Amino acid sequence: MIIYAGSINRDHVRILIGILPNISVSKVVQFLKGKSSHKLLSEFSVLRKRYWGQHLWARGYWVASSGNVTDEVWKEYIKNQKPNEPDDDFSVL
């Protein structure tokens, strides 16, 4: 799996990834959500307290293949995803 681009907002994450054709998308999403959840909850006690006994990520996800659109177009789209209003309480380190 290769991550080509990413954008993080308060309520969702957009990533452009490349995977081998013999790996299912659902397994990749499960892996990414599981590993990132474990990492975030182990490093940030605020999140651990807030999501105790709950799920960090929502159950759903949206996927599109880049067959009809070039990867460069997707990368530009992801790069330009910014919240309409600045959110002073949210930052990515």
Write out the catalytic residue numbers: 77
For residue 5, what are the contacts with CB-CB under 8 A and spacing of at least 6? 15, 16, 74, 75, 78, 79
Instruction: Let me know the angle formed at the C-alpha of 60 by 59 and 65, rounded to the nearest 5 degrees.
Output: 145
The sign one gets for the Cα dihedral 44, 84, 80, 16 is: positive
